[in-house]
């Protein structure tokens, strides 16, 4: 039986009792919704305010996705939140049985529209975005390698734990303005974090529009989503 940490404010999101490893993620992602309990022998974070706006909900989901253990749980029944958590591979943090209606999706490809670009300029813009993420270049195990770009494609390799790299291939799509980024190898837990970083760049770039994310199964079914998770 999963127990809420007693100081959590009532509501859909809560921190499980006894599972805190002081990861620091809530402070950096959603400091106004979490609080620290500093006890004599240990510290424990808890939810002090539930999300009130769509932006709050996105911040809360980012904490769920980035926390080092599955300590932040969702007891609500909003199908959209449950779908996103399950598809991102975090279905086990949902209390509601609705979670069984969905399955994890490995979204390893995004198509989007961007005028006046080349594979090299897109890769360079993503590279600059990475190093603009607060604290990104201060984490010693993170590594980014930029390959040589051609007219056909550019590759960036990204790792949290070098030498295990994820490859991002920037390629032309079916028109002059359509672009495709493929993430390799197969998307697993860390690969989903790469998806979210890539989506952060796409969302932040005013020149990019019409994102279409898909897993292999979704491509075979002819469907795509406007966001990774």
Residues of this chain that interact with ligand SF4 (CB under 6 A) are: 15, 20-23, 25-26, 45, 67-69, 71-72
Minimum distance, C-beta of residue 8 to ligand SF4, in the bound complex (Å) = 10
φ and ψ of 71, to 5 deg: -100, -15
Listing DSSP states for 69-122 in one string gives: SS-EEE----HHHHHHHHHTT-GGGB-SGGGGG-----EEEEEEEESS--HHHH
What are the tokens at 220? 């075979």
CB atoms under 10 Å from CB of 101, counted, come to: 11
Q: Which is nearer to ligand SF4, 73 or 212 (CB)?
A: 73
Q: Which is nearer to ligand SF4, 9 or 128 (CB)?
A: 9
Q: Which is nearer to ligand SF4, 13 or 170 (CB)?
A: 13
Residues 45/35, Cβ–Cβ less than 8 Å: yes
What are the tokens at 223? 């469907």
Minimum distance, C-beta of residue 119 to ligand SF4, in the bound complex (Å) = 38
CB atoms under 10 Å from CB of 186, counted, come to: 9
What are the tokens at 214? 């898909």
Minimum distance, C-beta of residue 25 to ligand SF4, in the bound complex (Å) = 5
CB atoms under 10 Å from CB of 58, counted, come to: 12
Minimum distance, C-beta of residue 16 to ligand SF4, in the bound complex (Å) = 8
Q: Which is nearer to ligand SF4, 24 or 132 (CB)?
A: 24
Minimum distance, C-beta of residue 74 to ligand SF4, in the bound complex (Å) = 13
What are the tokens at 208? 């990019």
Minimum distance, C-beta of residue 61 to ligand SF4, in the bound complex (Å) = 13
Q: Which is nearer to ligand SF4, 36 or 165 (CB)?
A: 36
Q: Which is nearer to ligand SF4, 67 or 155 (CB)?
A: 67
C-alpha span between 155 and 136 (Å, rounded): 19
């Amino acid at each position: 039986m999963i127990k809420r940490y007693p100081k959590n404010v009532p509501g859909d999101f809560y921190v499980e009792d006894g599972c805190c490893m002081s990861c620091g993620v809530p402070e950096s992602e959603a400091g106004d919704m979490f609080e620290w309990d500093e006890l004599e022998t240990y510290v424990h974070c808890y939810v002090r305010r539930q999300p009130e706006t769509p932006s709050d909900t996105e911040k809360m989901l980012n904490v769920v996705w980035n926390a080092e253990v599955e300590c932040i749980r969702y007891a609500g029944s909003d199908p959209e939140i449950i779908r996103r958590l399950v598809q991102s591979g975090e279905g086990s943090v949902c209390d509601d049985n609705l979670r069984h209606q969905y399955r994890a999706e490995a979204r390893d490809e995004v198509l989007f529209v961007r005028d006046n670009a080349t594979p090299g300029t897109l890769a360079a813009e993503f590279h600059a975005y990475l190093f603009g993420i607060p604290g990104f270049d201060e984490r010693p195990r993170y590594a980014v390698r930029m390959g040589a770009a051609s007219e056909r494609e550019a590759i960036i390799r990204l790792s949290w734990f070098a030498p295990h790299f994820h490859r991002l291939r920037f390629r032309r799509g079916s028109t002059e303005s359509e672009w495709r980024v493929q993430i390799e190898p197969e998307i697993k837990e860390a690969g989903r974090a790469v998806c979210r970083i890539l989506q952060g760049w796409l969302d932040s770039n005013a020149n990019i529009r019409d994102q279409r994310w898909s897993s292999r199964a979704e491509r075979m079914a002819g469907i795509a989503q406007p966001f990774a998770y």
